[in-house]
């Protein structure tokens, strides 16, 4: 990811000061020098490329916005960027874990409080289709499933989902699109 001539060694505190002043060329140098190593670190922590790419955007946005907070006495610029990446990845892991626990608790409560509705005896095909949809939903990644359930079962708009989950609107839209493609693929023989 690093172009010829761009290395972590070239990024000294003066380059970060230029980023703090709004110098986009300096910011590009930081990105070119650090993106590979920060991506690798985040991928090891998150284990999912799509989450890693999103996190890396957040990291570089923070570097851009908070470059003036960089203190060269506390370490070299790469160490500062690694710390930002590590903290953001930990926050992402905690957030995902918390959401999954809440989802599991809500699902368990719904099961405990629900009264099964009688199924029509002659409607076996409908029951089979519903079971196939439930199984397909169960195979989705938890964060993707949460977005699609809020959209289709919760009746929320993409903007409302983004607000509720504290996610960018584009992330919500891509998760729902990805879920729809996965569901379409797994249910293609029911069409």
Please determine, for residue 17, whether its predicted confidence score (pLDDT) is greater than 60.
yes
* Digit-coded pLDDT (tens) for 82-129: 999 999 999 888 887 777 777 777 777 666 665 555 555 445 555 666
Q: Report the top-level CATH class of 124-191.
A: mainly alpha
In the chain, CATH 1.10.1740.10 sits at 8-94
Tokens of 93: 């892991």
As a three-state string, the secondary structure of the chain is CCCCCCCHHHCCHHHHHHHHCCCHHHHHHHHHHHHHHHHHHHHHHHCCHHHHHHHHHHHHHHHHHHHHHCCHHHCCHHHHHHHHHHHHHHHHHHHHHHHHHHHHHHHHHHHHHCCCCCCCCCCHHHHHHHHHHHHHHHCCCHHHHHHHHHHHCCCCCHHHHHHHHCCCHHHHHHHHHHHHHHHHHHCHHHC
Higher pLDDT: 169 or 186? It is: 169
d(C-alpha 32, C-alpha 1), whole Å: 7
What's the whole-model pTM score?
A: 0.52
Please determine, for residue 4, whether its predicted confidence score (pLDDT) is greater than 50.
no
User: Tell me: domain 8-94, CATH 3.40.50.1860, correct?
Assistant: no
Residue pair 39/52 in contact by the 8 Å Cβ criterion: yes
Residue pair 73/47 in contact by the 8 Å Cβ criterion: no
Please determine, for residue 81, whether its predicted confidence score (pLDDT) is greater than 60.
yes
Cβ-in-10-Å burial (0-12, 13-18, 19+) of 149 comes to middle
Residue pair 183/137 in contact by the 8 Å Cβ criterion: yes
In the chain, CATH 1.10.10.10 sits at 124-191
Higher pLDDT: 155 or 78? It is: 78
- pLDDT at position 114 is 55
- Segment (H or E) for 72: none
Higher pLDDT: 49 or 99? It is: 49
Q: How many CA atoms lie within 13 A of 139 on its CB side?
A: 15
Higher pLDDT: 18 or 106? It is: 18
DSSP state of 157: -
Angle at 16 between CA 12 and CA 17, to 5 degrees: 110
């Amino acid at each position: 990811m690093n172009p010829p001539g761009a290395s972590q060694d070239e990024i000294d505190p003066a380059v970060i000061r230029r980023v703090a002043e709004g110098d986009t060329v300096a910011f590009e140098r930081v990105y070119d020098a650090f993106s590979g190593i920060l991506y690798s670190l985040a991928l090891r922590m998150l284990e999912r490329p799509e989450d890693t790419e999103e996190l890396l955007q957040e990291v570089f946005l923070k570097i851009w916005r908070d470059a003036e907070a960089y203190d060269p006495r506390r370490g070299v610029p790469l160490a500062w960027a690694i710390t930002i990446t590590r903290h953001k990845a930990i926050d992402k892991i905690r957030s995902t874990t918390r959401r999954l626990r809440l989802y599991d608790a809500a699902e368990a409560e719904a099961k405990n409080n629900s009264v099964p509705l009688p199924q029509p005896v002659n409607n076996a095909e409908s029951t089979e289709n519903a079971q196939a949809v439930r199984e397909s939903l169960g195979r989705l990644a938890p964060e993707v499933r949460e977005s699609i359930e809020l959209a289709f079962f919760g009746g929320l708009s993409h903007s409302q989902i983004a607000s509720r989950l504290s996610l960018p609107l584009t992330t919500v839209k891509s998760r729902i699109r990805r879920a729809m493609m996965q569901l379409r693929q797994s249910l293609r023989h029911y069409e």
